[in-house]
Amino acid sequence: MTVQTLPFYTIIKINKSSSVPVFQQLANGVEQLIITGTIKPGYRLPSGREMARIMKLNRSTVVAAYGELNARGWIDIALRKGVRVVEQLPALQARQLNRQAAGIEKKRIQTGFYQKLAAALPGEPQAKPFFKLLVDDGYPDARIAPLNTLISRYKFLLNKPSKLTSIINERPAGAAALRQELSSFLSKTRGMQVTPDHILTTRGAQGAIYMAAQMIVKPGSKVIVGSLSYAMANKVFEHLGAKLIKVGVDEQGIDVDAIESICKISPPDLLYIIPHHHHPTTVTLSAERRVRLLNIIETYQLPLIEDDYDYDFHYENNPVLPLASTNPQGLILYIGSVSKTLALTVRSGYLVADPGFVMQAGKLKALMEIRGDLLMEEAIAYLFQTGDMQRHIARSVKLYKERRDIFCELLTHDLPHMLHFRKPAGGMAVWSEFLAGFPLPRIAAQLAKDHIYMSDGSNYNQGDPSVNGVRLGFASMNESEMKSLVHALRKAGGL
């Protein structure tokens, strides 16, 4: 079997008229590839016979070159194991390699994004230790999702030539089948009288937020958000040049009086809210405030992004219909998520708006991805068509309610002196405010020693060190995992 390798013939120049022997030219060429990092430590070079074929040289010449590289300490030659670059490069040459790497670092492209936003987003950890338990932000349990059915349908569509041909003619708004199923589902469950033309599919709810904001926000725009709000939405608005106006959020939801006061002085360009299970605090906007907010939207012609990422997961009673079910004068842009229903790895969300807005947003979407993963969208549509999605939601609501009750009981019984919380009426997480004697960075660091990941709270407090809170996702944990977390929290807190 032929193994793919570097095109040595084109990257190592051999001059047979040179006074330098050919074997030394080959050795020098390989050495430079190692020094510049093109060839990494441990890289397996072609055999002598294969390299001779690639370079159009005699095998004896290649054997001599490999012998020279071995003598210089660059490669190891072992019977049956082949020719490999040494794992520990010679010290002198390693220093040269480091200097060259530093030179490359200086030439890094300094983009506007890098300068303006990269420092404000969560960084990559320096090390990625093994975690036996991940305490998430409030995600579904992929272990109970009908993913086998989804994958089987995807494979079926992949092997259907007519389907592969038909996707070329799909609109940028997304797969027609999924938009049809979503319009029917939203009508039955949310009272939203929409057609497929009202729907734009995206890669998750975050993609829908970005698309909606991109259509409205420009440098200098004013956007109202909650004082504690979904951080990644805030970053989108800021990246587009908006100024954030933050208003309070209490147990009844966002402060509608404050929104009206702002509008009377100078109406903003956009309002962003999460009416069901607000992120991060999980509170739900009261019915009275919903009515008033709808009046404000209509009076001041205020565009609204309604982020309803986990509407289906309500446990105490039937949720209030979305604001978008009335949608005065088409001012409300509704965001939904399929990922939060199935699994985070299934990236699927949607934006609901007037058909004209969706058509224009589709043109913007096409600049980023011409079609998207239409086969996956068709497979998701199949789950709706067969009722598998609806049955999965019903089972999930029952299971997550049970898990919420168990988790809240554990927190109440075992950690009352460590944190305070309010039992959420819906959603997949508990907003937990740790007492002053239990700073989250220290607690998170202690948990990491027990191979448990939990946020240190920095992605929730939005720069306010007095906020010592974190979302503890319960939906993705079974009872055993919950007990392990609570035990580890007691240990981390010295209880």
Q: Domain end: 38, 72, 92, which one?
A: 92
Same domain, 343 and 454: no
Cα(366)–Cα(217) distance, integer angstroms: 19
Residue 99 lies in a domain: no
Residue 8 CB coordination number (10 Å):
18
Residue 124 lies in a domain: no
Same domain, 28 and 62: yes
Same domain, 374 and 252: yes
**Would you state the torsion angle of the CA atoms of residues 188, 342, 401, 281, taken in this order, to the nearest 10 degrees?**
-90
The amino acid sitting at 61 is T
* Nearest CA among 369, 377, 323 for reference residue 211: 369
Q: Domain end: 385, 417, 440, which one?
A: 385
Same domain, 310 and 364: yes
Cα(382)–Cα(376) distance, integer angstroms: 10
Q: Copy the structure tokens of residue 73.
A: 């300490």
* Strand pairing class (249-250; 253-254): antiparallel
Cα(158)–Cα(160) distance, integer angstroms: 6
* Nearest CA among 130, 227, 153, 162 for reference residue 453: 130
- Count of domains observed in the chain: 3
Residue 59 lies in a domain: yes
Same domain, 331 and 414: no
B/e letters for 355-368, b = 16+ CB within 10 Å, e = fewer, are eebbeebbeebeee
Residue whose token pair is 């589902």: 185
Same domain, 352 and 422: no
Which domain CATH number covers 367? 3.40.640.10
Phi-psi region of 469 (alpha: psi -120 to 50; beta: other; left: phi over 0): beta
Angle at 247 between CA 243 and CA 252, to 5 degrees: 145
| pLDDT 10s digits, 36-92 | 888 889 899 999 999 999 999 999 999 999 999 998 899 998 877 789 999 888 755
Cα(93)–Cα(237) distance, integer angstroms: 48
* Nearest CA among 342, 338, 298, 351 for reference residue 192: 351
Please give the residue range of the domain that contains residue 474. Answer: 133-138+392-492
Same domain, 284 and 353: yes
Residue 106 lies in a domain: no
pTM metric for this prediction: 0.80
* pLDDT, tens digit only, all 495 positions of the chain: 455 678 899 999 999 999 999 999 999 999 999 988 888 898 999 999 999 999 999 999 999 999 999 988 999 988 777 899 998 887 555 555 555 545 544 455 555 554 555 555 555 554 456 789 999 999 999 999 999 999 999 999 988 877 777 777 788 899 999 999 999 999 999 999 999 999 999 999 999 999 999 999 999 999 999 999 999 999 999 999 999 999 999 999 999 999 999 999 999 999 999 999 999 999 999 999 999 999 999 999 999 999 999 899 999 877 788 999 988 778 999 999 999 999 999 999 999 999 999 999 999 999 988 878 899 999 999 999 999 999 999 999 999 999 999 999 999 999 999 999 999 999 999 999 999 999 999 999 999 999 999 999 998 988 888 899 999 999 999 999 999 999 999 999 887
